[in-house]
Amino acid sequence: MAPTPTPIPLESGSGAGTMDSVGSMGGQMGTISLGALIQYINQRTYSDLLNLAEILPRKSDMEKKVDIVQYAQRTRQLYVRLLALVKWAASASKVDKCCHIMALLEKQNSLFTDTADKLYHMTKENLVRARLPHFHIPAAVETLTTGSYDRLPLTIRQRILPPEPVTALERKQTLARLEQIIQHRLVTSELPPQMRTSRIENGRVRFTVEHEFEVSLTLMGDSPSEPWRLLEIEILVEDKETGDGKALVHPM
């Protein structure tokens, strides 16, 4: 077993201080400092050399030569790569600046995307009920030009003011129209033979069935399916034997 190598301190002026910026520039990208890398390579080379010195005495001359050549080749390739890395580290400040710029641009892009998503959800969910209604331009023009507005819905007046009384002429015209509707319904409907006796007056029809009843009906509209509405009924049934010709219905 070879002894554990001790860390080799870096000499001043070796440029490691400047090269350490390579590690500091990408601490968030999983990198290490150049000084730590150089120290690790030196320790590995020294450890391999101690192992080689320990096993060479037990080998033949040809095996010793082969092991020494292989060790030299491995060490040379390792330090060639380290030299390329050291030369590249001269532009570490530029790479560091580019990394910071890329990180800033990625952060700005993330903020823009998040803002757009939040604005979309706000528009679709929160601001749907916050929209202004369409402005009533005709009402504004009439109010500004005439000083008043005469197009308010009639339902406002109906809720506040009592309805105007019906004039005698309007009542007469309405009853006449209602009697026409009743006559049309009687002509187009099939009535029982007992109810053929009728008279129309004051917007109602009165049917009389002798010794049974007398009824007054009317209609509330001109639809053919509009049902009859009962206004008044009078029972005309009498008992000649026990009632002495009096009506059987108790007076109200």
- The tens digit of pLDDT for each residue in 119-178 reads 998 888 888 777 777 888 888 898 999 988 888 888 888 888 888 888 999 999 999 999
Distance CA 53, CA 65 (A): 12
pLDDT in tens, 40-51: 999 999 999 999
131 or 243: which leads in pLDDT: 131
106 or 95: which leads in pLDDT: 106
Q: What is the pLDDT of residue 81?
A: 92
Neighbouring CB atoms inside 10 A of 80's CB total: 10
pLDDT in tens, 70-79: 999 999 999 9
Average confidence (pLDDT) over 84-113:
88
What average pLDDT is seen over the chain?
A: 81
Q: List strands edge to edge, sheet with 229-235.
A: 198-201, 204-209, 213-218, 229-235
3-state secondary structure 107-163: HHHHHHHHHHHHHHHHHHHHCHHHCCCCCCHHHHHHHHHHCCCCCCCHHHHHHHCCC
Of 87, 86, 75, the residue nearest 35 (C-alpha): 86
**230: containing domain:** 168-235
Neighbouring CB atoms inside 10 A of 21's CB total: 16
Identify whether 8 is part of a domain.
Answer: no
Identify whether 136 is part of a domain.
Answer: no
* Lowest mean pLDDT segment, chosen from 14-18, 178-182, 187-191: 14-18
Identify whether 102 is part of a domain.
Answer: no
Identify whether 37 is part of a domain.
Answer: yes
Identify whether 204 is part of a domain.
Answer: yes
- In whole angstroms, what separates CA 116 from the centre of its chain? 14
Identify whether 162 is part of a domain.
Answer: no
CB 8 within 8 A of CB 44: no
Q: Give the end of a domain, one of 93, 122, 156.
A: 93
pLDDT > 80? residue 23: no
pLDDT > 90? residue 239: no
Average confidence (pLDDT) over 26-36:
68
Q: Give the end of a domain, one of 76, 93, 110.
A: 93
Q: In which band, very low, low, confident or very high, does the pLDDT at 93 lie, cut at 50, 70 and 90?
A: confident
**Domain count along the chain:** 2
* Lowest mean pLDDT segment, chosen from 64-68, 80-84, 246-250: 246-250
Q: In which band, very low, low, confident or very high, does the pLDDT at 3 lie, cut at 50, 70 and 90?
A: very low
Identify whether 76 is part of a domain.
Answer: yes
Angle between helices 34-55 and 61-88 (to 10 degrees): 180
CB 51 within 8 A of CB 75: no
